[in-house]
Structure 1
């Protein structure tokens, strides 16, 4: 076997690429109640619209050999690009112009409205997507966090160009915006320009949470996806690390108790994952599992059993150590991935909680068996289960 040492020649050299992320502290939960999907449609319009009367940001970056994309979440919007370092200044300037001072085009907006409708059709045909919307709707009923990020085909169809422009003005005049770059240097841009000065400082106002909703479970005849979980720690809470470690203990790694139970002992699941997301009022912790319908009830029972065992006894020392390593390694991997690092830095800037691998790692390592026991008990106290697709009658 030939082993070549590339540490000096490849890994430690000056990066030849740059990753840029612009993050806005506003997302789908901030859509007007009668215009669900507005932020997502706006994201499409900003990425597809002309910049300085020429190509769209997406086309410009791709023509330069780079990559660009955007995403809308419940509480944040992200716009990002990966380019060669030689294009850093120009692309950063264009990204800021495209997102903060856009040139809205009515024809492009109409086209993107149709594209979003097709995107929603595709998502509606994928039970793995649908079950997660249903899970959040049950976890946060009649609450902004329970709304689907993309809206519905009906709600998007009724969104006017005026509404898109007005929402953009509101977003960028009232909410915090940040841009982060991971690369060989900072971009040379006009920090006194009008686009850079744009943005507000308003914090999100929390909305009261009511009780969760428990829907009656009906298993269809075909392959299904099931979400099992509950409310977890809010964003910024020190307890979030407990839910991240619990997610690792119920994740798809061969060390996890849930993997050993579902895969090794019973052979009941091929595809599953577990994760925690924190929001303003609370978080969402879940296990997402694909299963044939005949074994669906058994899968839910086994997930519940593993959670109950963790609640009663906590994890073994070896399992807890492995979970710590899993979560801490993910933080390091994200730091060494330039785009993910830029995303985390920009998001931390707008939320007022600067991203720090060392600080987050310390929180994870401080999670004890007793912490996991109490966290599992909390999830079990109001466990939510959703299944999709719904059976045909």
Structure 2
């Protein structure tokens, strides 16, 4: 039997979802439906900048007191930013639920963003940007989406550029927070053994008094750009090749077929189709992967591989061959059964992680205001047929619709 989950909404509009499971550890997140795609012109990098500054002081705590509050009882506090969300999370023993919720509420609602700390974090983020730029296999994904989305906000890197980060001020930080940190755009998610009655009391005590009348950034739809093929000389030892296309988003029925397709072609398992037919068979690419990244209203399907210059053209031909075969030939009943069984197993095993369980609950409730029981979700995967996979393959991964960004050793 699946663990029961509870939902309720606080007076200020924050939605709460809690899954009661018999665990020693509890996992919580306050998730805000805002990220780098909500930055205005001149604000590039500010959403991520704010995430860093949340730990740098509130009206009643300095940095040390924030970091020490959970760590001294063995807990963990973390935050991260995506293109569409900001997450403030904590893991701890159930006995410390009151302490953890109060701390997250304090840093989310009462951060003061001291000028001195902003200056320090600016240097930290500039180092972070430099570190990413030193890693071609990371930066190629940012630069690919920059080209795929054109001037749309989804094309901006989450970290921002050195120039944009240098220009950010305390006023920029406060303006973004007052515009986008709205209770109606927040979900508080929890997984653990805390009784729902106790959690309601704690949430009302610490989360319900916060108010923000910001209108939020109005999101625009991304428009498809023309297929591109850009090959750039870089100071790298090997070729880095990323190909991909603009697809549908998290709210589209084709999300699951695309997820299944990406997992089959180049998911985390060593027996993925691309790994077996290129890495294992020919030994020409140490790293090869496929992925589907759904945003709220669109998505990106991508295939990345790194290889020696000598093998690049052959690996590219082999990848295109696999893509054409996916478009031209349906999977057999046995293949389809195995593909679905693998994804279902991976998802089911991930539920052993309290953090993964909490993240799934939070995202589902944030974007759809509902949570699909795991059994129903897995049945939706079972319902995918070979026609579905071939149809999304023909539409989104045929070589003629794939754009390319390639770093060639100089």
TM-score for both structures, normalised by structure 2: 0.85
Q: Distance in 1 between matches of 2:66 and 2:206?
A: 19
Q: What residue ranges of structure 1 are gaps of 5+ in the alignment?
A: 1-12
Shift of residue 265, structure 1, vs aligned partner: 2.0
- Compared with structure 1, are the counterparts of its residues 45 and 222 closer, same or farther at alpha carbon in structure 2 (3 Å cutoff)? same
1:189 aligned to which of 202, 207, 218: 202
Deviation per residue, 1:208-228 (Å, 9 max, x gap): 414245133246562232222
More moved, 146-155 vs 339-348: 339-348
- Compared with structure 1, are the counterparts of its residues 276 and 353 closer, same or farther at alpha carbon in structure 2 (3 Å cutoff)? farther
Shift of residue 233, structure 1, vs aligned partner: 1.9
The equivalent of 1:309 in structure 2 is 325
Shift of residue 179, structure 1, vs aligned partner: 0.8
**SS of residue in 1 equivalent to 2:22:** coil
The equivalent of 1:273 in structure 2 is 289
Give the length in aligned residue pairs. 379
Deviation per residue, 1:110-166 (Å, 9 max, x gap): 111111111001001000111101221222111111111111111001000111011
Is 1:359 matched with 2:376? yes
Is 1:239 matched with 2:248? no
**SS of residue in 2 equivalent to 1:142:** coil
Is 1:332 matched with 2:332? no
Cα RMSD of the aligned pairs, angstroms, is 2.3
The equivalent of 1:228 in structure 2 is 243
The equivalent of 1:134 in structure 2 is 143
Shift of residue 82, structure 1, vs aligned partner: 0.8
2:335 aligned to which of 286, 306, 319: 319
The equivalent of 1:16 in structure 2 is 24
Q: Distance in 2 between matches of 1:183 and 1:23?
A: 17
Q: Distance in 1 between matches of 2:402 and 2:75?
A: 44
2:48 aligned to which of 37, 40, 54: 40
Q: Distance in 2 between matches of 1:59 and 1:123?
A: 29
1:63-74 matches, within 5 Å, as 63-74=72-83
- Compared with structure 1, are the counterparts of its residues 199 and 346 closer, same or farther at alpha carbon in structure 2 (3 Å cutoff)? farther
Is 1:160 matched with 2:169? yes
Q: Distance in 2 between matches of 1:261 and 1:86?
A: 51
Q: Distance in 2 between matches of 1:195 and 1:353?
A: 19
Is 1:217 matched with 2:225? no
Q: Distance in 1 between matches of 2:209 and 2:357?
A: 21
1:90 aligned to which of 99, 107, 123: 99
Q: Distance in 2 between matches of 1:77 and 1:156?
A: 18
**SS of residue in 1 equivalent to 2:54:** helix
- Compared with structure 1, are the counterparts of its residues 204 and 318 closer, same or farther at alpha carbon in structure 2 (3 Å cutoff)? farther
Shift of residue 96, structure 1, vs aligned partner: 1.5
1:299 aligned to which of 296, 308, 315: 315
- Compared with structure 1, are the counterparts of its residues 170 and 113 closer, same or farther at alpha carbon in structure 2 (3 Å cutoff)? same
Shift of residue 58, structure 1, vs aligned partner: 3.5
Equivalent residues of 1:324, 1:364 under 8 A apart: yes
Q: Which has the higher strand share?
A: 2
1:346-385 matches, within 5 Å, as 346-356=362-372, 357-378=374-395, 379-380=397-398, 381-385=400-404
Shift of residue 57, structure 1, vs aligned partner: 3.3
The equivalent of 2:37 in structure 1 is 29
